[in-house]
Structure 1
């Protein structure tokens, strides 16, 4: 079942960071990434990669890396489906007779 316009996982991560009361700079330091890299994700301009998902799991414990990747995948697929006019393919017609 697909979601309707799922949130970018960066928005969810931003909420988590705010709830914990830590700064973006501190979170970036714990994740061993630049503040710029983390900021791009938090502002929806960057994706949560497998590497980042694992870092998030290791630093924050939960949610798991799998969960972060599912969020990113759902977001990416929703975006792609809503931009399908940009994808030029020819459907394969199968003759099942």
Structure 2
């Protein structure tokens, strides 16, 4: 039996980071298109502005806890996996920010000597 003690988390099959992160809005957009629901109707049913819904579905606005719960109520799509997807999306985007990653490396260097 092979030991997994020295295997990087990035090497585990179920832990692969996608090259392009998936925003939950892309999944929700596919879902409402598949169901034939208009964005205007869904926004009205959810009690949110059409522009807010459209920005989420077009990946220009993050999904919040409140909007995830509204999608859950309107579509029956579980809010928690959507929020986890948003968190993974956010983290992967931040990891591509070289200025922030440099700052993070500096903090790690300082913390290592404490």
Give the TM-score of the pair, scaled to structure 1.
0.87
Q: Which has the higher contact order (CA 8 A, sep 6+)?
A: 1
1:93 to 2:112 alignment: yes
Q: Write 1 or 2 for the structure with the bigger share of helix.
A: 2
Count of aligned pairs: 93
Greater C-alpha Rg: 2
Gaps (5+ residues) in structure 2?
A: 1-14
Give the aligned partner of residue 95 of structure 2.
Answer: 81
CA distance in 2, matches of 1:19, 1:13: 10
Give the aligned partner of residue 45 of structure 2.
Answer: 30
Runs of 4+ in 1 over 2 A off after TM superposition: none
Gaps (5+ residues) in structure 1?
A: none
Alpha-carbon RMSD across the aligned residues, in angstroms, is 1.5
